[in-house]
Amino acid sequence: MDYDRFFADRLTALRDEGRYRIFAELERRCGDFPHAAFHNDGTPRPVTVWCSNDYLCMGQHPKVIAAMHEALDGCGAGAGGTRNISGTNYLHCKLEHALREWHGKEAALIFTSGYVANLTALSTLAGNLPDCLVLSDAKNHNSMIEGIRSSRAEKALFRHNDVEHLEELLAAQPRDRAKLIAFESVYSMDGDFGPIEAVCDLADKYNAMTFLDEVHAVGLYGDTGAGVAQRDRAMERVDVIQGTMGKAFGVLGGYIAGKADLVDFVRSFGNGFIFTTALPPAIAAGARASLEVLRSDEGRALRARHQERAATTKSKLRAAGLPVMDSASHIVPVLVGEAALCKQASDLLLSEHGIYIQPINYPTVPRGTERLRITPSPKHGDAELENLTAALIDIWRRLGLSLREAAE
Ligand code: PLP
């Protein structure tokens, strides 16, 4: 085996397809969101970021930063161990308590990321429930897919958001068999919502458990921001709510919330929880401060402004003839449909217009649906939106991409 040749050839193939990932080296400047400095060219230059998952700019919120400073000064940098061996800080427990309350659940458990939360919780639950069948939405995130895979449980995919197909699969199983339905509340690349109530109805009817990824919804939907399940008044019906502190919270980490024994089971048997160093206390303090803001009137105002900005962005871009894909949520996907063109569009936006939008290519989305995924925030003003619209029209024309009639 020629190892060097193997790696080089595979990377060349990726480049040829236009799918090779180049990271934008950003310097986020506190207080100046969505503006940042772009460092890749050697000399930093200003860019406007339109693809951050710090959806509400909470990563730069003064209360979050103050809480992190205080915890850093008080407790030091790291947690000092795994949760089991000297790494549990009182700040972790306070955060778990706040998360549990927020979701109206008996218990919550934090992980080092949302990815690790999905991977660990799904592999632990599906891997230990005897003869468990996991029913998984076809568009579930990679972290859920990997969690299910590593559980070694049998998996049945149901067509995306297709509750009739899900029912067919459930009805074919004995009522007594352990069944876990894994799905998301907001699918982050298309921006559509999962049918939470309908899935819970089926779970009741066929005696299944529900596992809901609310990673792109916590902080953003529901009266206190606890997610789409809260908005849809279905929070108490979902068995496991999984979320992240890395997106709308603006910090880092993931969690699950559910019944006390279920959460305790994952705490006791989940390898991805047990065998890793706990989150730094300052991260836990920042996440809790963020949660306090998100559940308050200030959080409500941020959510209202966020939704308004997303709706305005969609309608402005559509009016300009740009192919905005249907999306009921805060995500604004604009279809390009080809990997190399998608990358070119992103490169030109950056080099000619100082606008940073990462191209989204296969395998994150299916081939032929490559897109620019735009995430407006409460801090993107009208002037920035005018610039974005003009820049996209310019790029679309230069690349020979089609604009609908309305643009002319
Ligand atoms: N679940 C979904 C649907 C996601 O999109 C992501 C990350 O993008 C994750 C889980 C992982 O969350 P985290 O970024 O906190 O690891």
Which pLDDT value is given to residue 63?
A: 98
* Whether pLDDT at 171 is above 80: yes
Mean pLDDT of 102-114: 98
* Whether pLDDT at 405 is above 80: no
Catalytic residue among 139, 247, 343, 379: 247
CA of 296 to the centre of ligand 1 (A): 24
Which ligand 1 atom lies nearest to the CA of residue 118? 10
Quickly state the pLDDT bin for 18 (edges 50, 70, 90). Answer: confident
Cβ of residue 114 lying under 6 Å from some atom of ligand 1? yes
Quickly state the pLDDT bin for 165 (edges 50, 70, 90). Answer: very high
Task: Say if strands 254-258 and 240-244 run parallel, antiparallel, or are unpaired.
Answer: antiparallel
Q: In DSSP terms, which residues pair with 45 in a beta bridge?
A: 38
At position 155, the amino acid (one-letter code) is: K
Would you call 48 helix, strand, or coil by DSSP? Answer: strand
Which pLDDT value is given to residue 19?
A: 83
Q: What share of the chain is helix, strand, coil (3-state, %, to 5)?
A: 45, 15, 40
Which pLDDT value is given to residue 404?
A: 83
Q: Which residue has the tokens 């009639």?
A: 405
Which ligand 1 atom lies nearest to the CA of residue 252? 15
Q: What is the pTM of this model?
A: 0.97
Question: Sign of the CA dihedral 184, 186, 188, 191?
Answer: positive
Q: In DSSP terms, which residues pair with 137 in a beta bridge?
A: 158
The overall longest dimension of the chain from CA atoms, in Å, is 65
Cβ of residue 113 lying under 6 Å from some atom of ligand 1? yes
Q: How many whole angstroms separate alpha carbon 243 and alpha carbon 216?
A: 8
- Token output for 369: 């649906």
Mean pLDDT of 285-295: 98
* C-alpha 60 chain-centroid distance: 18
Mutate to test the pocket of ligand 1, among 113, 115, 139 (most ligand atoms within 8 A of CB): 115
CA of 254 to the centre of ligand 1 (A): 9
* Mean pLDDT, the chain, integer: 97
Which pLDDT value is given to residue 164?
A: 98
Cβ of residue 327 lying under 6 Å from some atom of ligand 1? no
Cβ of residue 246 lying under 6 Å from some atom of ligand 1? yes
Conformation bin of residue 242: beta by default, left when phi > 0, alpha when psi is -120 to 50: beta
Quickly state the pLDDT bin for 408 (edges 50, 70, 90). Answer: very low
* Whether pLDDT at 406 is above 90: no
Quickly state the pLDDT bin for 407 (edges 50, 70, 90). Answer: very low
**DSSP annotation of 133:** E
247 is catalytic: yes
